[in-house]
Amino acid sequence: MKASAFSYARATSVSNALELLVAYGDRAKVLSGGQSLMPAMNLRLISPEVIVDIGELTELRGIGVAKGILKIGALTRHVDLQRSAEVAAHAPLLTDAVAEIAHPAIRNRGTIGGSLAHADPASELPACMLALNATIIISGPKGERRVAAGDFFKGIYETVLSPQELLVAIELPIVRKNSAYFFQEFARRRGDYAITGLAAQAVVDGGKFTDLRMAFFAIADQPVLAKAAKALVGVSVTPVALSAALAALGHELDPHEDQQASSSMRRHLARLLMARGVASLLGRPDLDIGGHA
């Protein structure tokens, strides 16, 4: 199908975009790369009255490193992340994750800010933000506010963003020494929505985790930072300790069921990913006790 009629405003600056959003409120939708918004409009799942196009706000585009922080502008496209030497050096988890987002033609338009603001629970980038302990920077009529990724996502397609606010950038602490990362997802075909996936970031010292953040996606109404991973920090990870963590993960998660997978299948895949992740992060293939999917 085709999108129903709407009015269109091309924002000329961030402050102009905010003026438009204040004027139109929840009658407006922000258009960034459009790779989720346009399908939803073409399918008439949503029919906004006004589209505020922020595509020409070049000040929101780009990747920079300063004072231990990797800052990514909201309009930075997936393909820009994929090809960025700064991202590969300071947040390689993102480099791996972006390669799994849809297909090349989609990655050429889709943006990180758009993906986070859209908050599809099956998306890769929201989970990466949790794993990387990101800070989301939001501009609104009352100025700027900073929200930890863990507080940003509220539910399916739901975030703390109000209709008058604009997500402008993401800040990531650059990865420390001895850090390791792991990204994997299960999908029926390459580029399909994930059935379940894991984005993990860890610090490993002397064979033990000193930090372990495992964010699962496509498992609940928003990405989930596994509490079960905490039990593996600061201890020598034995097969018994890992089994206990896997069991705890199974209890912690309450996966949804849909036409792609049952709840128990998702739980099984999440445990499998946790075992694979821990084995990979520690460089201990002996711990990969999850079996095969």
Partner 1 sequence: MPISLEVNGERVDAHVLPRINLADFLREQLKLTGTHVGCEHGICGACTVRVNEDIVRSCLMLAVQAHGASVQTIEGLSDSGEVADLQAAFRDRNALQCGYCTPGMLMAVQDLLKREPAPDRERIREHLSGNYCRCTGYHAIIDAVETTARSRAGRRS
Rounded CA separation 260/287 (Å): 28
Among 14, 16, 55, 171, binds partner 1 (CB under 8 A): 55
* Interface stretch with partner 1, choices 97-105, 122-130, 156-164, 257-265 (CB under 8 A): 97-105
For residue 35, state whether it binds partner 1 (rule: CB under 8 A). yes
Per-residue CA distances from 226 to 169, 187, 198, 199, 245 (Å): 25, 21, 10, 11, 10
Q: What is the smallest separation between the CB atom of 158 and partner 1, expressed in angstroms? A: 22
3-class secondary structure, 263: helix
Contact status: 79 vs partner 1 (CB under 8 A)? yes
Give the phi and the psi of residue 144 in degrees, each rounded to 5. Answer: -100, 145
Residue reference for tokens 């999108």: 3
Q: Which of the 8 DSSP states describes residue 209?
A: E
The pairing of beta strand 7-10 with beta strand 50-53: parallel
CA 198 to chain centre: 10
Q: Work out which of 12, 26, 43, 155 binds partner 1, going by CB under 8 A.
A: 43
Q: Which of residues 104-133 bind partner 1 (CB under 8 A)?
A: 104-106, 108-109
Contact flag: residue 42 with partner 1 (CB under 8 A): yes
Select the span of 27-35, 127-135, 257-265, 284-292 touching partner 1 (CB under 8 A). Answer: 27-35
Smallest distance, Å, CB 168 to partner 1? 20
3-class DSSP state of 162: coil
Residue 157 touching partner 1 (CB under 8 A):
no
Rg (alpha carbons) of the chain, rounded to whole number = 19
Which of the ranges 6-14, 87-95, 203-211, 277-285 carries the binding residues for partner 1, by CB under 8 A? 6-14
Rounded to the nearest whole angstrom, what is the least distance from the CB of residue 163 to partner 1 in the complex? 19
Q: Does 247 bind partner 1 (CB under 8 A)?
A: no
Region at 182 (left for phi over 0; alpha for psi -120 to 50; beta for the rest): beta
The Cα–Cα gap between 158 and 145 comes to 18
Stretch that binds partner 1, among 7-15, 84-92, 146-154, 258-266 (CB under 8 A): 7-15
**Rule CB under 8 A: is residue 188 a binding residue for partner 1?**
no
Rounded to 5, what percent of the chain is helix, strand, coil?
Answer: 35, 25, 35
Phi, psi of 36 (to 5 degrees): -110, -35
What minimum distance in Å lies between the beta carbon of 102 and partner 1?
7
CB of 234 to partner 1, least distance (A): 40
Span from 35-43, 138-146, 235-243, 277-285 in contact with partner 1 (CB under 8 A): 35-43
Given the rule CB under 8 A, which residues bind partner 1?
1-8, 10, 31, 34-35, 38-39, 42-43, 51, 53, 55, 79, 102-106, 108-109, 189-191
